[in-house]
Copies of this chain bind each other. A is one copy, B any other.
Amino acid sequence: MMINLFTKTTRFTICLSFICVSSFSQKLSQNKLKEIASKYAESSIPLLKEILSIPNDAFYPEDIEKNIKWCEVAFKQRAFTTHRIKTATVPLLLAERKHKNAEKTVLIYLQIDGQPVDSTRWFQKSPYRPTLKRLNSNGDWEEVSWEKMTNYEDDWRVFARSASDAKGPVAMFLSALDAAKEFNITPNYNIKIIMDFEEELGSPRLPNAVTENQTLLSADMLIIFDGPRHITNKPTLTFGARGIATLQLTTYGPNVPQHSGHFGNYAPNPALRLAKLLASMKDDQGRVTIKGFYDGISINPATEQILKAVPDNETQIKNRLEIAETDKVGGYYQEAIQYPSLNIRGMQSGWINEKVRTIIPSWARAEIDVRLVLESNPERLLSLINNHIIAEGYHVLKQKPSTEERLKYPKTATLTSEISYQSFRTDFDSEVGLWLTRALKKSFDEDPIRIRMSGGSIPISPFVTTLDIPAVTVPTVNRDNNQHSPNENLRLGNYREGIQTMLAILNEKL
């Protein structure tokens, strides 16, 4: 077949020689990879359950320490050296393993901490007690005994905090390392693993730690085992992610809550003030109306082609979210993600439901997140928001107004913000991009879906900018995993294919 094809165009020849080289480096066949992954998906369940059983809300450093220790043991058992990179709070953990004849080094980013939990909203004993479930004929998730794992089905799921985001991928990778060992696969590159225990806090200590440990972390490229696959649940590579900044905005009414009868029509209501401020920032279709917010972004025809190649089924997305219409920031999903967002992630004033009382609240607060893209300077976006609030007549402070300030300015607001990390984006035809595309194609016998930008954020920009290396994300988990919400879960089929994906990468010559 190769000889025949030599008669084709040059462009095709290049393509062929690419297949050729990769064929030589492929130590295990596609079928073998699949078979091994199936075996390990079952045999590694104790490992998965063990890691998911350790509470990992980063607000509780004593719980985080247990996770760090667990990771140290896990990687040492697999012939890695480990090193704690100290920060002002909990450390980052670096694990390293060198391989014979390796020329390059691949840095792998893993996230160990999880979002806070509201146990009352989980349909199981504890978010930290992994529970196996299957969908019954009534459309409900019913518990399945772990003993039935010997006959598991791909659509069963493991429910636990971080099952998908992102301890599941950690367990997949450890299993892939075990499988590689059993089948004598030695990567032709060295591996460094950097483990983050404050990702859900926005990795506030990561940028400094990277800057201060550049030699320790030096590598040729970065891959990230995090995030959900494309909604079709087919093998996916993601070449970028939006960054994130957060803001907290508070408006004020009377100094303490006042009886709404005695002061309604008289004392200004902070919830109304907050509502007016928020309403002034976006139009009815979710577009930010603050002038200049989208400056610098334009989707050219080449980019549009890349975006439109993603096989999104938007009717399906809308049906899943149960929304009749989407916001109109972009014309379609992939385009929407190329723009920065301004999202109200939380809002509160006074009390609701059974705690309601007839008051004028004394304050109202909105929690906002701004997803960042490469084209927008984060400081500039935050400054636009700050200036907008000032233009709405507010005296904007970084702290609570004093009595003097309250009595001097008709409208006061407190605005604090934090830039967690910037966006990153890697070219499809970079070395790391081509290598991973090759590995996935050979493992699954089809081109992976390649996504220019993920909407979500991962704290990658410190690596990309400080270490000056390209980064690609290898997502493995199911998209409908309730990430960040109650009843987070991981589909077993994704767990199995995740192991297969990571084994394929260990198996693929760089």
Q: Which residues of A contact B (CB under 8 A)?
A: 59, 115-116, 118, 200, 228, 241-242, 244, 246, 248, 253-269, 271-272, 274-276, 278-280, 282, 284, 286, 317-319, 321-327, 329-330, 333, 336-337, 339, 341-361, 364-367, 369, 371, 393, 403, 406-410, 454-457, 479, 482-485
Contacts and interface: CB of A to CB of B under 8 A. Distances in A.
Given A327-B265, A327-B268, A346 B352 contact: yes
17 contacts: A116-B354, A242-B261, A254-B321, A254-B322, A258-B321, A261-B454, A262-B455, A264-B343, A264-B369, A265-B327, A272-B278, A272-B286, A276-B278, A322-B407, A346-B349, A348-B348, A352-B367
A244 B408 CA distance: 33
Contact of A484 (B248, B355, B357, B457): B357
Contact of A267 (B321, B345, B349, B484): B321
A28 to B, nearest CB: 33
A485 B259 CA distance: 8
A282 B272 contact: yes
A360 B345 contact: yes
> What are the nearest 7 A-B pairs in CB distance?
A261-B456, A264-B341, A346-B350, A279-B279, A271-B344, A265-B329, A255-B322
Most chain-B Cβ atoms within 10 A of its Cβ — which of A325, A350, A354, A479?
A350
B347 A347 contact: yes
Given A278-B271, A324-B410, A260 B356 contact: no
Contacts of A324: 406-410
Given A356-B367, A365-B352, A266 B333 contact: yes
Nearest to A280: B279
A274 B364 CA distance: 14
A359 B407 contact: no
Contacts of A482: 256
Contacts of A268: 286, 323, 325-327
Nearest to A456: B261
A279 B241 CA distance: 34
A341 B455 contact: no
Contacts of A346: 271, 349-352, 355-357, 361
Contacts of A406: 322-324
Nearest to A337: B265
A348 B355 CA distance: 12
A367 B348 contact: no
Contacts of A264: 341-343, 369, 371, 455
A266 B345 contact: no
Given A261-B455, A355-B116, A360 B348 contact: no
Contacts of A284: 276, 393
A358 B244 CA distance: 10
A346 B360 CA distance: 8
Contact of A115 (B326, B357, B484): B357
Nearest to A395: B324
Nearest to A242: B261
Contacts of A364: 347
A12 to B, nearest CB: 37
Contacts of A344: 269, 271-272, 275, 349-350, 361
A326 B266 contact: yes
Nearest to A485: B257
